[in-house]
C-alpha cells in the first residue's frame, strides 16, 4: 500500500478486506482473516494503515429515514446573487437540520443541497421559511426524488 500524490495504492488482500467490510461492516475481523487466509492481527494492522492513509474515513450505522417519518427527499439548486455570498450561505445552510449535503457546483447554480423532509408540506416550509430567507439567495430550483434506484460506494 503506497501513496503517490495522495492516491492510495492497495493490494489484493486489502481489497478483499475492504470488500468484506463494505458488504457487512459488522463482520468480525477473525472471520475476515479466516476467509482470506491471514491472521486477525494482520487484518487489524492493514485496517489501521488504511485508516491512516485516509482511504477509510470511518464507519457508521445507516438510519432508515422512512422509519422516522421522513419520506420526501429533494435536491435544491440555489442561485446566489454574488459568488462572495457562498461562505455565508453555507454557514446558514449548516444550521438547517433537514440539509444533509451541500456542494459548490459548476453550471447554473452556485450551490446544490440534498434535503430530507417528512412530506411536501415540510419541504415547502423549509424552502420558504429557511432556505429562501438566507441573505444572498436569489432563487431556488427544487427536484423531488421519487425513488432512489442506485445506492453504492465506489467499486474496489
Could you tell me the pLDDT band of residue 14, with boundaries at 50, 70 and 90?
very high
Domain segments of the chain as ranges: 3-53, 65-145
pTM: 0.84
Has residue 7 got a pLDDT over 50? yes
CATH of range 65-145; options 3.30.70.870, 3.40.50.261, 3.30.70.920, 3.20.20.70: 3.30.70.920
Fold of the domain built from segment(s) 3-53? Arc Repressor Mutant, subunit A (1.10.10)
Q: What is the pLDDT of residue 5?
A: 62
CA dihedral 147, 153, 155, 156 (to 10 degrees): -160
Amino acid at each position: 500500500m503506497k501513496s503517490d500524490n495522495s492516491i492510495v495504492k492497495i493490494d489484493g488482500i486489502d481489497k478483499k478486506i475492504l470488500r468484506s467490510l463494505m458488504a457487512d461492516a459488522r463482520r468480525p475481523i477473525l472471520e475476515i482473516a479466516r476467509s482470506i487466509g491471514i491472521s486477525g492481527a494482520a487484518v487489524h494492522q492493514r485496517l489501521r494503515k488504511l485508516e491512516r492513509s485516509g482511504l477509510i474515513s470511518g464507519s457508521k450505522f445507516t438510519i432508515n429515514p422512512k422509519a422516522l417519518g421522513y419520506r420526501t427527499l429533494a435536491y435544491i439548486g440555489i442561485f446566489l446573487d454574488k459568488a462572495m455570498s457562498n461562505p455565508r450561505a453555507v454557514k446558514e445552510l449548516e444550521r438547517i437540520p433537514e440539509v444533509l449535503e451541500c456542494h459548490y457546483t459548476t453550471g447554473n447554480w452556485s450551490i446544490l443541497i440534498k434535503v430530507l423532509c417528512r412530506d411536501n408540506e415540510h419541504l415547502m416550509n423549509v424552502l420558504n421559511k429557511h432556505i429562501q430567507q438566507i441573505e444572498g439567495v436569489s432563487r431556488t430550483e427544487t427536484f423531488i426524488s421519487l425513488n432512489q434506484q442506485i445506492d453504492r460506494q465506489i467499486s474496489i
